[in-house]
Amino acid sequence: MNYQEEILKLKKQKNAVILAHFYQVPEIQDIADFVEDSLGLSQKAANTNANIIVFCGVKFMAETAKILNPDRKVLLPDMNAGCSLADSCEYKDFKKFKEKYPGHIVVSYINCTAEVKTLSDIICTSGNAVTIVNSIPENQPIIFAPDKNLGSYINKITGRNMVLWDGTCKVHDILKEEEIIRLKLANKDAKLIAHPECQAAILELADFIGSTAAMLKFIEKDDSKKYIVATESGIIHQMKKTAPGKEFIIATIDKTCNCNDCEFMKLNTLEKLYNCLKDEKPEILLDKKTIIEAKKPLLKMLEITASAKK
Ligand code: 13P
Ligand code: SF4
């Protein structure tokens, strides 16, 4: 079966839109209507007229699309596509943590469950985290969850002292300074570009730090010909499309491993995408109360981001 053709037919018949993250396998990126970072995908999800949203990414991303579009059907090709970062912050534990810091407002990275979003005041992504935190009055104490690497990077950039939840993304946190130094020494003509979910020691060595979308913009405009890329491997497909003449070396913990594949992102395949569009399942279902409470901090994020652009 030609999955590409069949998916396109079903998509038209059902008035569906396919949203894909940069970490998806190349064949899914190439068939999607939009391929973006978490911020871009949440903005697309907020503005779509499609009856069905097929989210090729992980569960917290598809949940976000559902929260922003409760009346539409939101599908995720593989319901096991979770996230180690979201899993590191369970609702009941985070509720107790929050109680220890009265008077703090909660900024949560979008990589958290819908339930944790209900405990949050504002959501952010790696693309707008600095803008979001800078929009909060300086004397207002903040809890930041769940990524401690992103949180400490924002503390450094903004001069804040946010209380950090102790969570990490296993794909980014596995990268170690020694291996990055080895790669830099072996490729002296390459620039290091890193996602802010990497450890501080790696960010210290980076020539550019940013979300996946920001990295793509950087390599498009920058005059270097070679880059060491410290994030998930799926981004390389878009990098090659964006800057065809350039060389990209994905950072890993040693020369042979594929530790920079996000096992959750890579659960989605063309076959699962076809089946999910055909059968209209697995579907993201959330209770009404969760949707209402989780929508507030997400809308705040979208409002702050839109007004910062003006
Ligand atoms: P972006 O904000 O760049 O989309 O990153 C999302 C993510 O899951 C990083 O691991
Ligand atoms: Fe979660 Fe990390 Fe995978 Fe992103 S790369 S979805 S943060 S486990």
Residues 6+ apart with CB under 8 A from 259: 171, 174, 252, 253
DSSP H or E segment with residue 36: strand 34-36
What pLDDT score was predicted for residue 120? Answer: 98
What pLDDT score was predicted for residue 3? Answer: 97
Q: Which ligand is nearest to the CA of 113?
A: 2
Ligand 1 touching residue 38 (CB < 6 A): yes
Residues 6+ apart with CB under 8 A from 63: 113, 114, 284, 286, 294
Record the pTM: 0.96
What pLDDT score was predicted for residue 272? Answer: 98
What pLDDT score was predicted for residue 254? Answer: 78
Question: Of all protein residues, whose CA lies closest to atom 2 belonging to ligand 2?
Answer: 169
What pLDDT score was predicted for residue 157? Answer: 97
Ligand 1 touching residue 169 (CB < 6 A): yes
Ligand 1 atom closest to Cα of 210?
3
What pLDDT score was predicted for residue 253? Answer: 83
* Distance of alpha carbon 69 from alpha carbon 63, whole angstroms: 10
Which mutation among 63, 232, 235 tests ligand 2's pocket best, with the greatest number of atoms within 8 A of CB?
232
Which mutation among 19, 43, 44, 111 tests ligand 1's pocket best, with the greatest number of atoms within 8 A of CB?
111
* Distance of alpha carbon 46 from alpha carbon 247, whole angstroms: 35
- 119: which 2 tokens? 């405990």
What pLDDT score was predicted for residue 76? Answer: 98
Ligand 1 atom closest to Cα of 126?
2
Strands 16-21 and 34-36: parallel
* Distance of alpha carbon 113 from alpha carbon 41, whole angstroms: 16
Residue numbers in the chain where pLDDT is lower than 50:
none
Q: What is the mean pLDDT of the chain?
A: 96
